[in-house]
């Protein structure tokens, strides 16, 4: 009889442990990530192929929050050479990398200290590469169930490698900058997310290149981890070659997988 009682007691303990584990809340991972991909192929009178890809990684733990963003854009189009033969050639190619780390000063305060680095390689712009580093102060101006607004500002340093031309050699230009950023997000409904990001890098030297950019996106959830994203990007450089435009725009539609 005692053996049966002991076995029953052990069984009850085991069932209670399983039930407790089943009802215990899952520990949320400090990492979140997403990858996006969009492609466009055109045939007929003209032939072209466009590929846009991106990868976002975020890590948030205690007072620290870090993000890394990688983007790639490649376009190939059919062009005719001097002999009249048509070939697929790269007509646009750009990749960017941006990383930022925020440290919240205290739990009771929405203020934070940030560090930011960025790099851009645009094969068909006036620059071989553009890079910058900045640090300063930021604040989460508001946060509720549907929307957030974060903004920061601080001093920094930028380095532009100006592409060589037929008359001028390659040149590296550096300047101190004031960098200001703002990010607004709004959950329009359960399936639609709106984001607006503004970045200004103002060069303090009068003849140095300043950059301004705007990133607007609307993401519509298709499934639990899959979304359709519409984006409009504007990039403005104050100092470019005479045959280049100051303002460049990019409109895209991509599939985003979150994990």
User: CA-to-CA distance for 31 and 59, rounded, in angstroms?
Assistant: 5
The answer to whether 185 touches 147, Cβ cutoff 8 Å, is yes
pTM confidence score: 0.83
User: What pLDDT, on the 0 to 100 scale, is given for residue 76?
Assistant: 84
Q: What is the mean pLDDT of residues 4-26?
A: 50
Tell which wins on pLDDT, 209 or 87. Answer: 209
Buried b (16+ CB within 10 A) or exposed e, 30-58: eeeebbbebeeeeeeeeebebebbbebee
Flag whether 224 is in a domain.
Answer: yes
Q: Is residue 10 part of a domain?
A: no
Residue 49 lies in a domain: yes
What CATH code is carried by the domain that includes residue 88? 2.40.160.40
Q: Is residue 96 part of a domain?
A: yes
- Give a yes or no: residue 140 inside a domain: yes
Write down the mean pLDDT value for the chain: 86
Confidence check: pLDDT of 24 > 90: no
pLDDT at 3: 53
Residue span of the structural domain in which 226 resides:
31-258
- Indicate the number of domains in the chain: 1
Domain contains 6: no
* Strand pairing category for 31-42 and 86-104: unpaired
Residue 232 lies in a domain: yes
Q: Any residues with CB less than 8 A from the CB of 81 and at least 6 apart, and which? A: 87
The pLDDT, as a whole number, for residue 13 is 45
- pLDDT, one tens digit per residue, over 148-166 is 999 999 999 999 998 888 8
């Amino acid at each position: 009889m005692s053996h049966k009682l002991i076995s029953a007691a052990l069984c009850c303990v085991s069932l209670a442990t399983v039930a407790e584990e089943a009802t215990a809340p899952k520990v949320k991972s400090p990492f979140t990530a997403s990858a996006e991909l969009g492609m466009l192929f055109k045939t007929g009178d003209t032939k072209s192929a466009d590929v846009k890809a991106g990868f976002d990684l975020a890590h948030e733990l205690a007072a620290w929050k870090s993000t890394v963003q990688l983007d790639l854009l490649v376009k190939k189009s059919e062009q005719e050479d001097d002999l009249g033969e048509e070939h697929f050639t790269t007509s646009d190619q750009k990749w960017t990398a941006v990383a930022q780390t925020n440290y919240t000063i205290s739990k009771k305060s929405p203020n934070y200290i940030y560090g930011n680095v960025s790099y851009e390689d645009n094969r068909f712009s006036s620059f071989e590469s553009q890079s910058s580093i900045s640090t300063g102060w930021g604040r989460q101006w508001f946060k509720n169930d549907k929307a957030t607004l974060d903004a920061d500002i601080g001093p920094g340093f930028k380095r532009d490698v100006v592409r060589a031309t037929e008359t001028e050699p390659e040149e590296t230009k550096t300047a101190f900058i004031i960098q200001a950023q703002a990010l607004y997000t709004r959950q329009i409904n359960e399936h639609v997310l709106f984001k607006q990001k503004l970045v200004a890098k103002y060069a303090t030297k009068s003849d140095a290149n300043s950059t301004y950019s705007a990133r607007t996106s609307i993401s519509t959830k298709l499934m639990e981890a899959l979304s359709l994203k519409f984006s409009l990007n504007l990039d403005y450089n104050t100092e470019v070659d005479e045959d280049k435009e100051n303002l460049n725009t990019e409109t895209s539609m991509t599939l985003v997988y979150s994990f």
